[in-house]
Structures are given as structure tokens and as C-alpha cells.
Amino acid sequence: MDKKQILIVDDEELNRVVLIGLFDEEYEILEAGNGEEAVEQIENNSNIALILLDVVMPVKDGFWVLEYMKNHDLIENIPIILITAETILDTEDQAYAYGVADVIHKPFYPHIVRRRAKNIIELYQNKYHMEERLKEQEKEIRAQEKKLREGNDFMIEALSSVVEFRSLETGDHVRRVKYFTRIMLKYLMTYFPKYGLTPTQVDEIARASALHDIGKIGIPDAILFKPARLTTEEFEIMKTHTTIGCEVLEKFHAHQSEEFYRYCYEICRYHHERWDGNGYPDHLVGEDIPISAHVVAIADVYDALVSPRVYKSPYANNTAYDMILNGECGQFSPDVLECFKLAKEDFFNIVEVIKMFDFL
């Protein structure tokens, strides 16, 4: 397999030599002494994993390169670290406005450049592989039986309409819960065969997870969007979104396969149940709670913790992870908690990639 490439763009040969020494064992190094040479390298090479870009150079400067990459939709796919002697805040602001991944000021510490570069390359590669995995999963789903696919798509479209009309947390919440659910289900399928999960069931449950909060369509705005802790009476009303959701689902029952409808119902009604019986609406205990709802419960809670809400700021990944394991968000299935531990890095990567690309 060909080595990934790093393009080093700097008019000072000494700087290029220092940077080459940091990466030449692991990467193929491309060099450019000005902006025009940099664009030539970009046009002639398709395996560039990172660009280390100087600002002040003869012929064409670093911002000329950024403008070229912006106009050709390259910045989103090729990360850039701007290395500059400029200390003017406007320069840094301008660089981030273009979408660079990082800015490092000269003189720089080589080990810091190497560490930041490695982190950024890994982050972009994770994003790429995540997208590829999701594309593969979507191909598998499209290949399923026509009736099942049409039924699932119908329900997901229904949820999209609900989210659009009510502006719930965001479509991103639904998307991330699906990612988290799918990841944990795959660990559950691999390490806990007693549940008998198949790849098709994993797909169905992950897709059904998108409907977990559809019942919030029936919650009054004053409660749903209250920027403070709910009163006891308000919380009792909020809890009814689980049963309201099941009533909504019943209206679409005839359009679904029985198995997919069952997963939707289980997740919608039981994703707030807890292992010790202290959940709602039915106070189910332990294995009386369907495994689909167990998995979505953790996915939903984790995303709620790491995401901003009108009533709170987001928690850090590690803090949210510890809160769930320490029982601060209720008691969960021991088996699903084990899968959550196995999925820790996957969860963190998803959150960080999404945060980074929202910022860019």
C-alpha cells in the first residue's frame, strides 16, 4: 500500500528540512517553496494526508493556496496546518475562516508539530473511514427486502417531518443516536451471542432508534423548551412522550413489517426504563426491558450529556462516560454497559469529528 503523503510548503529550506525529519519515516514527503509550487503538487498528487503551509512566501503566499483549495472544495478533505511567523490575530482568524485545522506559530517546537499533525491526520482518517463504513451499511440496507426498506424509510421520513415541525433537539441528535446504537449493537452481536442478533436486526434496531423521541410531538412547547429544571408536574407530563410516541406509531403500523414495528415500539416506550425498575413509564426491571431499548437508552443519554441543550452546557466526553458508568443517569443493563465500554473510543471519535467539522 502506498504511503500517505505530507506536503510541506515553506520558502525557507531549513524549515522544510526540520519538518521533513519529523515525518519522512512514516510518510512520503512532498515539497514546495511557494504557493504556485504547492498548487502544482496538490494537482499532481491524490494521496495527500496533510499540508503544512507557510504564510509569507514569494510568488504566491499561503492565503493564495487556501483560496485555491477553497474554490476547488479541497479544504474539507485535506487538512491544513498553517505555520506562520505572523502574530497578528487577524491572520489567525482569517486562516480559521478558510477552514484550516490548526495554526502553529514560528519558532515552533518540532515535537508539538508532530503530535498535532498526527492527531489531525488520525481525525480526518477516522472521518473518512466512518463515512465509508456508513456508505457500506447503507448499501446493505438498500439491498434488503423491498417491503422492509419502504416501511423503514416511511417511518424515518415521518420522524424527519416531526423534527422539522417541532424543532426538537436537532436532526444531528437522531443521527448520532443511530451511530451510537449501531456501534453498541455490533459489539453486542460479537461478544454477547446469547441475544442472537443478526446483521439485519442490527440494521433494523439502529434505524428504529431514530423514532425514540417521536412522542415529544405531543409535549407542550412551554415544557419541551423550558430553559430550566422542570417541576414535578411538568416532568410527569414530559414522561408521557414515551406513551404518546407509541400512539403515533400505531397509526403507521399497517405500513411496517411486524419486526420493525416491534423494535420501534420497544424503543419508543421503554428507552427511559432502567435496570433497577426506577425508570418509566412501566417501571420494568432487568431483562423485562427489551435489549433494543437498553441499547438506545445509553446512546440517547450519552448524546444528551455531550450536547448543548437550552438548560445546560455540554459535558466533556470523559465526564459523560464516567457519569453513565457511575450510575448518575440511572442503572443500565450490565451487558450493554460492557458494550458501552468497548465502544468508548468509537463514541469519542464520533463526537470529536462532528464537533470539528461543525466548527470548520
Question: Distance between CA 213 and CA 129 in Å, rounded?
Answer: 29
Pairing outcome for strands 80-84 and 48-54? parallel
> In this structure, are 161 and 117 located in the same domain?
no
pLDDT, position 183:
95
> In this structure, are 102 and 205 located in the same domain?
no
Q: In what order do the strands lie in the sheet with 102-105?
A: 28-32, 5-9, 48-54, 80-84, 102-105
Tell me the whole-structure pTM to 2 decimals.
0.57
Is residue 305 within 8 Å of residue 323, measured between CB atoms? Answer: yes
> In this structure, are 198 and 155 located in the same domain?
yes
> In this structure, are 113 and 236 located in the same domain?
no
Does the residue 289 lie in any domain?
A: yes
Residue 230: what residue type?
A: L
> In this structure, are 161 and 111 located in the same domain?
no
2 by Cβ neighbours in 10 Å (0-12 / 13-18 / 19+) ranks as: exposed
Q: How many independent structural domains does the chain possess?
A: 2
Question: Distance between CA 90 and CA 86 in Å, rounded?
Answer: 10
**R_g over Cα of the chain:** 24
> In this structure, are 158 and 305 located in the same domain?
yes
> In this structure, are 121 and 170 located in the same domain?
no
Average pLDDT score over the chain: 87
Does the residue 139 lie in any domain?
A: no
Residues with pLDDT less than 70, the chain:
1, 87-89, 141, 144-171, 254-256, 354-360
Unique residue bearing C-alpha cell 466526553:
317
> In this structure, are 182 and 118 located in the same domain?
no
> In this structure, are 29 and 177 located in the same domain?
no
List the grid coordinates of 117.
499533525
pLDDT, position 359:
44
> In this structure, are 112 and 158 located in the same domain?
no
Could you list the residue range(s) of the whole structural domain that residue 291 is in? 144-359
Last residue of a domain, one of 70, 92, 125: 125
Question: Distance between CA 40 and CA 158 in Å, rounded?
Answer: 48
Strand partners, 105: 84
Using alpha carbons, select from 234, 231, 263 the residue that is nearest to residue 249. 263
Is residue 256 within 8 Å of residue 155, measured between CB atoms? Answer: yes
Q: How many CB atoms lie within 10 A of CB 281?
A: 15
Is residue 121 within 8 Å of residue 50, measured between CB atoms? Answer: yes
> In this structure, are 114 and 62 located in the same domain?
yes
Does the residue 130 lie in any domain?
A: no
Does the residue 137 lie in any domain?
A: no
Looking up residue 22, the CATH number of its domain turns out to be 3.40.50.2300
Last residue of a domain, one of 125, 154, 186: 125
Last residue of a domain, one of 58, 90, 125: 125
Sign of CA dihedral 129, 131, 133, 136: negative
Is residue 240 within 8 Å of residue 219, measured between CB atoms? Answer: yes
> In this structure, are 203 and 258 located in the same domain?
yes
Question: Distance between CA 170 and CA 163 in Å, rounded?
Answer: 7
Does the residue 138 lie in any domain?
A: no
3-class DSSP state for residue 7?
A: strand
Looking up residue 249, the CATH number of its domain turns out to be 1.10.3210.10
